[in-house]
Amino acid sequence: MTDALTTVEPPAAATPRGGGGGTLRYVLSKVGAALISLGLIVVLGFVLFRVLLPGDPVRTLTRGAPVTPEGAAALEREYGFDLPLWGQFTRYLGNLAHGDLDRSLVFKVPVAQKIGERLGPTLLLVGVGTLIAVVLGLWLGTRTAWRRGSRFDRTATGIALALWSAPTFWLGLVLLTATGGLFPSGGITYPDTPPDFLSQALDTAHHMVLPTITLVAVVYAQYQLVMRSSLVEEMHAEHLLTARAKGLRDDEVRRRHAVPNALLPTVTLVFLHLGLVVSGAITVETVFSWPGLGLLTFEALRFPDYPLLQGTFLVLAAAVVVMNLVADLLLRVLDPRVRAS
Amino acid sequence: MTLLQLRDLHVRYPGEHAVAGVDLALAAGETLGLAGESGCGKSTLAMSVLRLLPPTAEVDGEILFDGEDVSTMSWGRLRAVRWAGASVVFQGAMHALNPVHRIGEQIAEPIRVHSPKTPPARVRERVAELLAQVELPADRAGAYPHQLSGGQKQRVMIAMALACDPKLVIADEPTTALDVVVQAQVLDVLTRLVTDHGIGLLLISHDLAVLGATCGRLAVMRRGRVVEEGPAHRVITAPTHPYTRTLAAAFPTIGDPASRYNPATAGEPPVAGTEAVGEELLTIRDLRVTFGATAAVAGVDLSVRAGEIVALVGQSGSGKTTLARTVLGLRKPDSGQVLFDGKPVPTSTKGLKAHRKQVQLVLQDPTSALNPRHTVHEAVAEGLRIHGVRGDEADLVRAALTDAELRPAEKYLGSLPHELSGGQRQRVVIAGALALSLRLLVADEPVASLDASVRGEVLALLLRLRARLGLATLVITHDLGLAWNIADRVAVMHRGVIVEHGPVEDVLLRPHHDYTRSLLAAVPRPDAGRTAEPRADQGV
Amino acid sequence: MTAPEPVERTPGPAWARRRAAARRAWGEFTRHRAGVLGLGVLVLVIALAALAPLITDADGVDVTRATGGRLEPPGGRYWLGTDESGRSVLLLVLWGARISLLVGLSATLLSIAIGTVVGILTGHFGGWGSALLMRLTDFFLVLPSLVLAIALSTVIGPGVGTIVLAIGVTSWPSAARLVRAQTLGVEARPYIERSRALGGGHLHVIGKHVLPGVLPLVLVNTTLAVGTAIVAESTLAFLGLGDPVAISWGSMLRSASNSGAVTAGAWWYLVPPGLAIAVVVLAFTLCGRAMESVLNPRLRER
C-alpha cells in the first residue's frame, strides 16, 4: 500500500523541488534577455541619432551657424560623419566600448564626463524620492485595502487619484508659487555655503525638499493604487479561509497571508514602471533646476545637442533595464509562485 | 456523547435560503457522510459549524459543538475552538494552501497559534510526525504547494487538519478532482487516521459511493433540507426517499446486468441498439504523440466501428485526452496513422475543415465549452456558419436541439448558457455537433462535471443517438461505471499505451492486466463499507 | 421527429442581445457615482471645446489683437486674468482644450490600435514570431517612455503630429500586454477548442470569440489611457516639443513658466491650465474605473 502511494500519481508531479538547474536556466534567460535589451538600446540610440537625423549633419550639429569649410570638415571628422553608415556604426560601437560618447556641443566637454558629473544628484533625488514613495504608497495601499469603503479609504484613494491625474511639472510649479521663497527655487546648494560637510549636507537637504515632495507626490499615488487593488484581489483568495479556520485573528490573517502575497507582484510592477520615475525625474529636475541627468536631458533638448541627447538616452534606458533585471532575480528568490511558472 | 448537534439550522444569503431547517447529530468518533448535488447547501452547512460563512450569510438555529453553542461564542473562544476543536479539510487543496509559504510552516501554523509555548524543535518534530502519518517523507516540509501533486496536497491538508488533535474533522469534497486510484488512497489515509485517533468525521461529497465506502451514517441533502438519514449501508441499498434512489442508481455496480446498456434515467429506458454497429469507421495504428521529451501516446492501436460506442479508460496523464485531440486533427501525430473511413486524417486546413464536419468533440465541462456571450441559437449555429451549410438556419438549429432532446427547441433558442442547467448545456454542445453531418462523436469525460442525477440522462442520450442515427462514439473517461453503462467495447490506457482492450464484459468482469485490476479495485463500493485497497503492483 | 411548430419568437440575431447587454451595463455603470460624475465632466468639457469657435471670438487668442494688460490679475473683465501678452486666460484654457483633447484622443487611438493588434496576434498565434514580438513589447515597455519620446521628437522636429506619434509609439506596449493576457485567457477556455473542433479557422476564432471577449477591456483601457496621454502631451509641450504656435494646456504652462509667472506670483496663469488637465484626466480615470468594475464584478468594491 505504502509503495503504491508514491507510484501511481502522474510522473510530472513527482519531480521534487524547483531544482538547481531550473534556477540557473532562469538566471541565464533573464540575463540573456537583459543583454538583448541593452543591445537593442545601443542600436536604437544609433538609429535615432544617426540614421533618422534629417538634413546635413554639420548644419544639424552647428544649428546652421556659419562655419568655415575647414571647420565643417573638422567637425565631420570628429563625429565620424565622413564615414559611410556602417563605418559610423562600428566607430560608435568601438567608442561605446571605451566609454566614449563623443563631445557635447553645448558644454564642449566629453558627454561621458558630463553625465558622470550629473549622475550623483539624480541618484540622490530619485533614490530618496523612490524610497519615500514606495514606503508611503505600499503602506497607504495596504491600509486602504483593509478598510475599503471607509472614509479613510475614500479620502486617501481620492487624493492618490487626483495626484496621479496632475502633471508632475505643474505640481512643482504650483508648489514653488505657493511656498513663495520658503525653499530655494533651484539648484542643489547656494554658492556661498561653507564647504564643510555638515553645511553642504544641510543646504542640499534644504534644496531637495520641494523636488522630492513633487516626485513622491506623483509616484507614490501609482504604488498606492496598485497595492490596493492587488490586496483587494488577494483578499478573495481561498487560502485565507483556511487561515481563518485555523483560528488566526483577522489581523494575523491579513498580515501573514494576504499582505505578503499581494506585496510581491506589486513590487514587480513597481520595478516594471521604473521608467515612470525617470520621466518624473526629468520634469522635476527641469522645474527645480536640479543639476542631474534629467536637467541635462532638458538642456540638451533645448539646443538641441544630439551627442548629449544620445548619451542621456543610452544611460537612462540602460539603467532601467538593469534595475529590471535586478528586480526579476530578486523576485525569483522571494516569491515561490514565480518559480512555479 | 454528542460531539456536534445542529438544531433547526437555517442559513440565508440575500435572495437564497441555502440551508432550510436541518437537524443533525454526530457522536464523538463517529463518521457521518453528507451527500447532495452542487448547490444543495451542504458546503454552507459545513462552514457554518466554525462560523466561516461570509458576512452576508444570516444564521439561525443552534449549532452545539461539544455542548457549547458556536453561534453565541465570543471571538476569542471561537478562535480557540477553530482547528483545536474542529478542523477542516477544504475542497481543492490547490487553492486552500497559501502558495508562498512552505507546507511545513503551514502545518506548524495552527500549532503555534493554539499552543504558543511549544518549543520550535518540538513543532518541527510534530510536523514530521504528521507528514509521516499521511505517508509523506519529512523533507517535504520544505516544499511549496506548487511542487506537490494533487494527491500530495490533499494529504498535506489532512496532516494540517490533524495538527492540533481536534475532536472533529470536517472534510468538504476532499477527493473531488483526484483520480480514482489517488482518491482511494486519500480516503484510506483519512478514514484510517480518524479511526485511529477516535476523531469524529463529517465527510461531504456529491459521490454516494465515496460516502458509502467511508462513513457509518449518511444524510442526504437536497435544496437545503435533509431528505433522508440513516446507517450508510441501509441508505444506499434500500433508500426510502425517491431522490436518494436517483442518486444511488446514478453510479452502477459493475457487473450488475440491470445497469448494462441502461444508465439511470427518469424517462424511458434507452435501447442497447447494438445492431447499429457496422463497418470500421476509425482506425488508429501504432500512434505516437510526444510533448517535448515525454510521449503522451506511445504506440496505440484502436478502432471504432460505425454505430459503435467505445470507452477509452484511464487516469489523468494516461494520454487519453491527447489521443482524442489527435483523432480530431487538433494535434499532429509524430508517427503512426489515424484513418477515418479508410482515409488518413487530413493535415491541410481545408481537409481538416471537411474532416471536422463528420467528427466532433464534446468536452468535459459544458459551462466553459460554451461562449458565455452566445445564445443557444448562436452556439448551435456556429458549426453551420463555419461550414456554410445550406438550408434554413433556424430550422436546422431547431432540428439539432430536438435531436439532442432539448424540447421544445424554441424554449431554449434565446437563452444564454448561464440560464441553463449543466445537463442542458451539455445537450447544447451535443446539438452543435449534431447540426453537422456527424458520424463520429469524441466525448471527453462528457458527464464528469455533471450532477449525478443528470449523468444518466446524458448517457442515455448517447445510446439513443446511436440507435436512431447510427452515431459512433469514442468516450474518454476515468469512470468504469460509465463504460459498463453504455459502451460496447473498452480500452484501458496507462502511460500512453493500451494495456487491455475487448468487449466490456470481458475486460471489466475478467480483467487480465494488473492495471485494469487496480482500477477496478479502486472504485469505491458503497455496499462494501470500506474502500477496497488498490494493488501495489502498478509498475514503477 | 415531429414537424416544428411555427415560431413566433425568432432567436433575436445578435443585435437584440447586444442591446440588452448594453442596457444592463449602462444600468450598472450609473450605480457608480464617481463614474457618472466623470462622464458628466467629460461631456461638458468636450462640448465646450467643440463649441469654442461658436461661443467665443477667435480674435481673443490672437497675440496681435490682445486687449488686456500684461499678467493682469482676475477681475471683472478677465475672470481668470490675462497672460503675458494680455490675452484672457479663460479664453486660452477653453481653446487649449481643443488641442489637448485632440492630441490625447488621437495618441490613445494610435497606441491602443497598435497594442490591440500586437496583443491579439501574440496571444493567438504561438511560435517564434510571436515570441519575438513579445520580447520587443517587453523591451519597449521597460524603456522610459518620456526619454524615447524626447529622442523621437527631437529627430522628427517639434509639432502636434510629433507629439501624437511620440506618445502613440511609446505607450502601446502596456496595452499590448493587457490585451495579450486577456487573449490568452479567452484562448484557454474550452469553447475555443470547441470552435476549432467545429472547423473554425483563425479568422473565425479571432473574430467570433477573441475580439468580442477582448473589446470591453480595450474600451476601458482606452478610457484610462486618454488621461495618461493628455498628461504626456502637456509634459512634452512643457519641455518645448510641441507646436510653438498651437495653444494647448501644456504650451500654456510652458509660457507661464517662461514668462516669469511663477516668480511674479501670477497664480491665475499657472493654476487654470494645470487644474484643467487634472480635472479632465481624473474624469477619464473615474469613468474608466467605473467601466472596469462593471466588467469585472470582483472589482466592484474598489
Q: Is the pLDDT of residue C301 over 70?
A: no
Q: Which of B88, B96, B181 sits opposite A8 (nearest CB)?
A: B181
Residue of C nearest to A312 (CA): C147
- Cβ atoms of A146 and A254 within 8 Å: the answer is yes
Please name the residues in contact with B230: beta carbons below 8 A apart, sequence gap of 6 or more: B217, B218
Chains that touch A (3 or more CB pairs under 8 A): B, C
Identity of the residue numbered A192: D
Each residue's pLDDT tens digit, C171-205: 898 889 889 988 998 888 889 999 999 998 899 99
Query: How far from the centroid of its chain's Cα atoms is residue B469's Cα?
Result: 29
Rounded mean pLDDT, A30-49? 91
**Among C7, C187, C194, the residue to mutate for chain B (most B Cβ within 10 A):** C194
Other CB atoms within 10 Å distance of the CB of residue A94: 10
What pLDDT is recorded for position C66?
67
Q: Determine whether A76 is exposed, middle or buried from the number of CB atoms within 10 Å of its CB (0-12, 13-18, 19+).
A: middle
User: Which of A219, A220, A200, A198 has its CA nearest to residue A208?
Assistant: A200
Which pLDDT band holds residue B396 (cuts at 50, 70, 90)? very high
- Confidence bin at C83 (pLDDT 50/70/90): confident
- C279-287: average pLDDT: 93
Percent of chain C at pLDDT above 70?
87
Pairing of strands B168-172, B200-205: parallel
Pick the CATH number of B278-522 from 3.40.50.300, 1.10.3720.10, 1.10.357.10, 3.40.50.150: 3.40.50.300
Task: Write the CA distances from C82 to B382, C45, C60, C91, C267, integer angstroms.
Answer: 64, 21, 11, 9, 11
Read off the DSSP letter of residue A51.
I
Q: What gap in Å lies between CA C10 and CA B262, rounded to an integer?
A: 37
Query: Chain C residues with CB inside 8 Å of A313's CB?
Result: 147-148, 150-151
Cis status of the peptide bond prior to A69, with omega within 30 of 0: no
Asked if residue C276 has pLDDT above 50, the reply is: yes
Q: Cell numbers 478677465 correspond to what residue?
A: C78
Contact yes or no for A238 and B152 at CB 8 A:
no
pLDDT at C162 over 60: yes
Return the C-alpha cell found at B247. 442518486
| Burial class of residue B21, CB neighbours in 10 A (0-12, 13-18, 19+) | middle
Residues of B in contact with A264 (CB under 8 A): 100
pLDDT tens-digit profile of A221-237?
A: 888 988 998 898 888 88
Is B29's pLDDT higher than 90?
Answer: no
Closest among B97, B91, B108, B86 to B169, alpha carbons compared: B86
> What residues are paired with B205 via a beta bridge?
B35
Spatial strand order in the sheet of B335-340: B294-305, B280-291, B335-340, B343-344
CA distance C11 to chain A (A): 38
CB atoms within 10 A of CB A53: 16
Q: What H or E segment, with its residue span, contains residue B287?
A: strand B280-291
Please give the residue that has the higher pLDDT: either B112 or A338. Answer: B112
Query: CA nearest B115 in A: which residue?
Result: A247
Lowest mean pLDDT among A121-130, B477-486, B523-532: B523-532
Indicate whether C146 pLDDT > 70.
yes
Angle, helix A151-165 to helix C267-295, in steps of 10 degrees: 120
Question: Once rounded to an integer, what is the mean pLDDT over residues B251-270?
Answer: 83
pLDDT tens-digit series, residues C51-79: 878 877 777 677 676 676 776 677 767 66
Cα–Cα distance measured from residue A298 to residue B354, given in angstroms and rounded to the nearest whole number: 63
State how far the Cα of B213 lies from the Cα of B204, in Å rounded to an integer.
13
- Mutate one of C224, C231, C248, C298 to test the A interface: name it (highest A CB count within 10 A): C231
- Least-confidence region, from A258-272, B349-363, B454-468, B482-496: A258-272
ipTM of the complex: 0.82
Closest CA to C230 of C174, C282, C173: C282
Quote the CA–CA distance of A132 and A234 in Å, as a whole number: 24
Q: Is the pLDDT of residue A2 over 60?
A: no
CA distances from A319 to A43, B101, C143 (A): 16, 33, 10
Of the ranges B262-266, B357-361, B517-521, which one carries the lowest mean pLDDT score? B262-266
Q: Three-state secondary structure along C47-102?
A: HHHHHHHHHCCHHHHCHHHCCCCCCCCCCCCCCCCECCCCCEHHHHHHHHHHHHHH
Output the CA torsion sign for C257, C261, C264, C266: negative
The H-or-E segment that residue B171 falls in is strand B168-172
Q: Which amino acid is at B26?
A: L
* Residue-wise pLDDT tens digits, A63-94: 667 778 888 888 888 888 888 888 889 999 99
Q: In the sheet that B489-494 helps form, which strands lie side by side, from edge to edge?
A: B359-362, B440-444, B472-477, B309-313, B489-494, B497-503
Distance, in angstroms, between B406 CA and closest chain C CA? 12
Question: CATH assignment of B2-249?
Answer: 3.40.50.300
How much is the mean pLDDT over chain B?
Answer: 88
Q: What is the pLDDT of residue C126?
A: 80
> What is the per-residue pLDDT for C121?
93
DSSP β-bridge partners for residue B65: B4, B68
Residue B237 has pLDDT above 60, yes or no: yes
Beta strands in B398-512, from DSSP E residues, in sequence order:
440-444, 472-477, 489-494, 497-503
pLDDT score at C102: 92
**With 70 as the cut, is the pLDDT of residue A7 above it?**
no
A177/C270 touch (CB, cutoff 8 Å), yes or no: yes
pLDDT tens for B187-236 read 888 888 888 888 999 999 888 888 888 888 999 999 999 999 999 888 88
User: What's the pLDDT at B419?
Assistant: 86
Q: Report, as an integer, the average pLDDT of C106-117.
A: 94
Distance CA B21, CA C24 (A): 36
> B25 near B40, Cβ under 8 Å?
no
Distance CA C95, CA B402 (A): 64
Lowest mean pLDDT across B59-68, B182-191, C75-84: C75-84
Q: Which three cell numbers stand for residue C220?
A: 476601458
> For chain B, what are the domain ranges?
2-249, 278-522
pLDDT score at A5: 32
Which of A55-59, A168-172, B186-190 is predicted most confidently?
A168-172
Q: How far apart are the two ends of chain B, measured CA to CA in Å?
A: 46
A245–B83 C-beta distance less than 8 A:
yes
Task: Output the pLDDT for position C157.
Answer: 79
For residue C30, name the pLDDT band (cuts at 50, 70, 90): confident
**Which residue has cell 514530521?**
B128
CA-CA distance, A211 to A126, in Å (whole number)? 10
Which residues in B105-116 are b (16+ Cβ under 10 Å) and which e? bbbbbbbebbee
**Secondary structure class of B263 (helix, strand, coil):** coil
Rounded to whole angstroms, how far apart are CA atoms A199 and A184?
15
Position of cell 485526452? B321
- Contacts across the A-B interface (CB distance below 8 Å): 125
B293 burial type by CB count under 10 A (0-12 exposed, 13-18 middle, 19+ buried) = exposed
Nearest CB to B83 within list A9, A246, A335: A246
At residue B531, does pLDDT exceed 70? no
For residue C282, give the chain A residue with the closest CA. Answer: A165
Residues B293-304, mean pLDDT to the nearest whole number: 87
pLDDT higher than threshold 60 for residue B72 = yes
Please give the pLDDT value at position B401. 94
Contacts of A270 (CB under 8 A, 6+ apart): A134, A223, A226
The yes-or-no verdict on residue B530 having pLDDT over 70 is no
- Domain boundary assignment for chain C: 99-301
Q: Which pairing describes strands B497-503 and B309-313: parallel, antiparallel, or unpaired?
A: unpaired
- Which positions in chain A have a beta carbon within 8 angstroms of at least one beta carbon in chain B? 1-5, 7-18, 237-239, 241-249, 252, 256-257, 260-261, 264, 335-337, 339-340
Q: Is residue A107 over pLDDT 90?
A: no
pLDDT-derived band at A18, boundaries 50, 70, 90 = very low
Give the type of residue at B398: R
Strands B309-313, B225-231: pairing is: unpaired
State whether A337 and B100 contact (CB < 8 Å).
yes
Band (pLDDT 50/70/90 cuts) for residue B383 is: very high
Least confident of A153-157, A189-193, B461-465, C105-109: A189-193
Please give the pLDDT value at position C13.
54
- How is domain C99-301 classified at the CATH fold level? MetI-like fold (1.10.3720)
CB distance B395 to B475 below 8 Å: no
pLDDT, tens digit (0-9, with 9 covering 90-100), for A204-217: 888 999 999 999 99
Pull the grid cell for residue B281.
Answer: 469507421
Element (H, E) at A59: helix A57-62
Q: Which amino acid is at B189?
A: V
Tell me the HSE value of C182 on the side-chain side, using a 13 A CA sphere: 28
Q: What is the dihedral of CA C6, C11, C12, C14, to 10 degrees?
A: -150
**What's the CA gap between C242 and C230, in Å, rounded?**
13
Return the pLDDT at C297: 58
- Helices and strands, number each (H, E), in chain A: 16, 0
pTM to 2 decimals? 0.81
The structural domains of chain A, ordered by start, are 109-339 (1.10.3720.10)
pLDDT recorded at residue C55: 77
Residues in Cβ contact with B32 at an 8 Å cutoff, skipping those fewer than 6 apart: B24, B26, B200, B201, B202, B203, B215, B216, B217, B218, B219
Q: Say if residue C11 is preceded by a cis peptide, omega within 30 of 0.
A: no
